[in-house]
Each structure stands twice: as C-alpha cells, then as structure tokens.
Amino acid sequence: MAKITFPVEASHIMMFARSVDDPNPVYHDAEAAAKTEVGGIIAPPTFPQSVAQFDPDYFLRPKHGQKWFGSAKGPTGITEKPASSGGLHAEQHFEYHRPLRPGDVLSVETKAGTTWEKESKRAGKLVFSERITEYRDQHGELVCTARSVGVRTEKPVAQS
Amino acid sequence: MALKKSQLTIGATHSERVIENLARTQLVMYAGTSGDYNPLHTDDLYTKEIAGYPGVFAHGMLTMGLTGKMLTNYVGDGRLKKFGVRFTNQVWPGDSLDSTATVAAIREESGEWVVDLTISTTNQDGKEVVSGTATARIDA
C-alpha cells in the first residue's frame, strides 16, 4: 500500500479527545500541557488510527462523484451488495515509542498480515485478517506500530 | 502524575466509569474525528434494513478510546508503551461503561521500570465489551 502523509495538528487532537469524551487538558490546553511531564500537547493513545482521514482511498468515507452505500432516499445508496457488509473490528494493538505531538508529520505504511478462519455460533464463518501499520516521524524514526485485526462475518452477530 | 513502583502491588486495580448513557451524537463525533464514516455507526436506517442489526452501534475504536482515557488517567500522560484490546461485544447507544486496569506484573524492561496491566471494560449488565493488556513506564 502507498505511504500516507499524516500531519498531526492541535485542532484535530482537541476534537479527537472530545470524541472519546476525554477532558484531559494535555490534549487541548497548551499552557496547562507545558507544565506537565510531557511538556506540551500530545495526542491520546488511540489517535494514530485517525490516519484514515489522510488516506485518499479510505473506503469508509463518502467520496466526490461516487455512490455511497449508506442510506439516502432509500436504506442504501447503491444497488449491489455493500462491500463492507459484515466487516467488524476484532482486535487493535498499539506499541508506542513516543507520544505524537502537534507539528509531527508522520509517514504511515500499512502491510497485510496473516488471515485465518474460525466457526462461531453467533455469526457463522468468521474470516480474520491482520494489518500492520508503521508510523514514522519527520526524522524517519518509528514512533508507533499498530496491529489491527478485522473480521468478516457470514451473518450479523446474534444478540444474546 | 506517574505511578511509582513502591506504590504498586500485584492485583491492585483502578476503575472508572468512562461513559454514561452513550449518546448517538458521540458516535457521530467519533466518526468525524477518526474518519471512519461506516454507516453502521451513524446511520440507523442502513444498519437496520441493510446490515441486519437492531440499530447503530459504537465503533470498536471509540470503546478503545474510552478505555484509553481510564488508562492514561491511571498511568499518566505519555507513559504508555503498549496498549492492545480485543472487542468482545458490541456497544450500543444508552450503554454505560466501566473500565478497570489490574496490575499483573511489575518488571524491568530495557533499563526502565514498567507495569503490565490487564484491562477490562464492561457494560451496565456486566458484559465485557473490551478485554486487553497494556504496559506503561513507572517511576522507580
């Protein structure tokens, strides 16, 4: 997959922290953050996943001139079966070498990992696939590695 | 506000209520910041009629983010070395979630002290929605 450039910005960090209901000043108040151990604003631990915003081809974002599979006039905007139907997030793992800070410009590369299958009572056949993402900073240093496991289910997960 | 090795014991826990009565608007906010606009999380009509679920549900990464709030409140800012989770059950609008970290080990790693934590986030019915582990730097 192509490398993605991910500029880390203070306003994005502030909005991201709000979206995970985290009022910690270290994510939005430069003055307060300067007095902490980290010495300035940093990003919350799950922020690296927001690289999706900078992936021009990210498939879970409506794109100019393309049909979107979410509802509009009808319950879906496309006629074929939605590509993402049944796709869920099974696992997510981060390894951090240092916190991300506003002003960082990350170079992000994702590689496919292994895939495996499993039978489940609640959702039929499950197909798992792994993706490894490396985040490098403007000096080429590895700052974060993410391992994500997605699962495609044969049918919607039964609610117990 | 880092943890100190001398103050930690194996089996010690830290818990927080990380969200009360999860609002659908919170899911919209998370879609907007993360860039994950999967209609499963914001579009009830699609989710019911096309995907076959009772309604929109939270992004796994929102639940991980809420769990991360508990974690950074406990271990301090910029102290995490590792944070990993499995999403074990879906989280729905109206859910209230509690996250707990339990001290599993205190050890030395590449010349610094770290704590290994096991993590669990449960909903108001006691059902686990996230299980995981984390490692954080601590002061000697």
Residues of A with Cβ-Cβ distance to B83 under 8 angstroms = 45-46, 93-94, 96
pLDDT of A84 > 80? The answer is no
What residues does each domain of chain B span? 5-137
Asked whether the beta carbons of A38 and A26 are under 8 A apart, the reply is yes
Contact A38 B77 (CB under 8 A): yes
Enter the ipTM. Answer: 0.97
pLDDT value, residue A29: 98
Contact B54 A159 (CB under 8 A): yes
Fold classified for B5-137:
Thiol Ester Dehydrase; Chain A (3.10.129)
Residues of B with Cβ-Cβ distance to A21 under 8 angstroms = 18-19, 26, 66, 69
pLDDT of A82 > 60? The answer is no
Contact A159 B50 (CB under 8 A): no
Residues of B with Cβ-Cβ distance to A42 under 8 angstroms = 77-78
Q: Tell me how far apart the terminal alpha carbons of chain A are, to the nearest angstrom.
A: 38
Asked whether the beta carbons of A51 and A107 are under 8 A apart, the reply is no
* Residue in A54, A60, A156 closest to B38 by CB: A60
pLDDT value, residue B2: 84
Looking at CA atoms only, how far is residue A103 from chain B in angstroms?
Answer: 17
pLDDT of A85 > 60? The answer is no
Contact B52 A37 (CB under 8 A): no
pLDDT digits (tens, 9 = 90+) for B21-33: 999 999 999 999 9
Fold classified for A4-58+80-153:
Thiol Ester Dehydrase; Chain A (3.10.129)
pLDDT value, residue A142: 98
Residues of chain B under the 50 pLDDT cut:
none
Residues of B with Cβ-Cβ distance to A36 under 8 angstroms = 77
A136 or A80, greater pLDDT? A136
pLDDT of A79 > 90? The answer is no
pLDDT value, residue A159: 77
E strand segments, B51-127: 80-87, 97-109, 112-122
Give which of A55, A69, A137 is closest to A103, Cα–Cα: A137
Chain A residue with Cα closest to B36 = A60
Looking at CA atoms only, how far is residue A122 from chain B in angstroms?
Answer: 11
Contact A93 B29 (CB under 8 A): no
> Assign residue A123 a region: left if phi > 0, alpha if psi is -120 to 50, beta otherwise?
alpha
DSSP string, A82-138: PTTTTEEEEEEEEEESS---TT-EEEEEEEEEEEEEEEETTTEEEEEEEEEEEEE-T
Chain B residue with Cα closest to A89 = B60
pLDDT value, residue A139: 97
Distance, in Å, from the CA atom of B138 to the CA atom of B6, rounded to the nearest integer, reads 10
Per-residue confidence band for A160, with pLDDT thresholds at 50, 70 and 90? low
Contact A94 B77 (CB under 8 A): no
Contact B87 A88 (CB under 8 A): yes
pLDDT value, residue B46: 95
Contact B34 A90 (CB under 8 A): no
